Amino acid sequence: MLVVSDEVQAAVADRRPVVALESTIIAHGLPRPRNLRVARELEELVREEGAVPATIAVLDGRPHVGLDKTQLERVANEEGIRKLGHRDLALAVAAGASGATTVSATALLAARAGVRVFATGGLGGVHREWTATQDESADLRLLARTRVTVVCAGVKSILDVAATLQRLETLGVAVAGYGTDRFPGFYLTDSGHPVDWALRTPEEVAAVMRAQDSLGGPESALLVANPVPESEQLDPALHARVLAEALEACAERGITGQAVTPFLLDQLVRRTDGASLSANLAAVRGNVRLAGRIAAARAAR
């Protein structure tokens, strides 16, 4: 049922570096035609680091790990492409549906195909006012039982970052800052929260991956939290002001539950004149480059 491209299949078999890429940023995260240009750019960045890109999506009920040119264009341009978390995969397969994969679905399918390194923007996490809404991203539990290394820019800054870090600890998911002992905040270099471990080179990350394999134990993920450079982050004062005003608007309009996150993200894009989107893309590009280097370091051993 899992369709792995010839290029990815050969690279995995030969133990050459491969980097998984999600497809929601293509189908749902960017306007056309910019989305396709970015999708191609991210794959090229992986190749520049000596690795094979494996963009993941579901097409006509078939999960694909590694897309060709036509398939990538389809994800970018076709109307009705669904957004699929890991819980949706069986439903999409049975229905013959097509969809772009989120972090949880991408991580699951990558692991099934033998791809160990995955680059994304920011993870989901525990939402604000969790005690009232019980709203928590499916990413967290999936990563607690999936052996994959995820290079990310932390979690989205609109979330409850402290609660998310606590939840990751409870679930046994390893978290390390890359070149920092501070946890990044997606658009922001520093979320204001520390991390217990810092890794400085791709080789150090690869050593942790090998140690995970040697120790055995739960098949949990390794999160490599790679901060967006300060020169490319969203201005922290602007971020704080827009977020505070957007949260106040949520309360005034009675926006609650799952409607909160899309509203906040939309407000950040609109009220920062697109600066939040620029910071998002800067973070993704940096994560993709680092993931390529990590995959190459792991393959070199």
Q: Tens digit of pLDDT for each residue in 180-216?
A: 999 999 999 999 999 999 999 999 999 999 999 999 8
The span from the CA of 263 to the CA of 185, in Å, is 18
Task: Out of 22, 43, 49, 136, pick the active-site residue.
Answer: 22
Q: In which residue are the tokens 């204001």 written?
A: 192
**pLDDT tens digits for range 135-152:** 788 899 999 999 999 999
% of the chain exceeding 90 in pLDDT: 83
**pLDDT tens digits for range 242-287:** 999 988 998 899 887 657 777 887 888 889 998 999 999 999 999 9
Mean pLDDT of the chain: 94
> DSSP labels for 164-176?
HHHHHHHHT-EEE
Asked if residues 18 and 54 have their Cβ atoms less than 8 Å apart, the reply is yes
**pLDDT tens digits for range 64-86:** 999 999 999 999 999 999 999 99
DSSP 155: B
Those residues whose C-beta lies under 8 Å from the C-beta of residue 43, and which sit 6 or more positions away, are 21, 53, 55, 72
CA torsion sign for 176, 180, 183, 184 is negative
Task: Out of 43, 49, 136, 156, pick the active-site residue.
Answer: 156
Catalytic (active site) residue 73 = no
Q: In which residue are the tokens 């217990």 written?
A: 196
Amino acid at 266: D
Catalytic (active site) residue 156 = yes
Prediction pTM value: 0.95
pLDDT at 132: 57
Q: Which domains does the chain have, with CATH numbers?
A: 3-232+283-300 (3.40.1790.10)
The span from the CA of 50 to the CA of 285, in Å, is 15
First vs last Cα of the chain: how many Å apart? 31
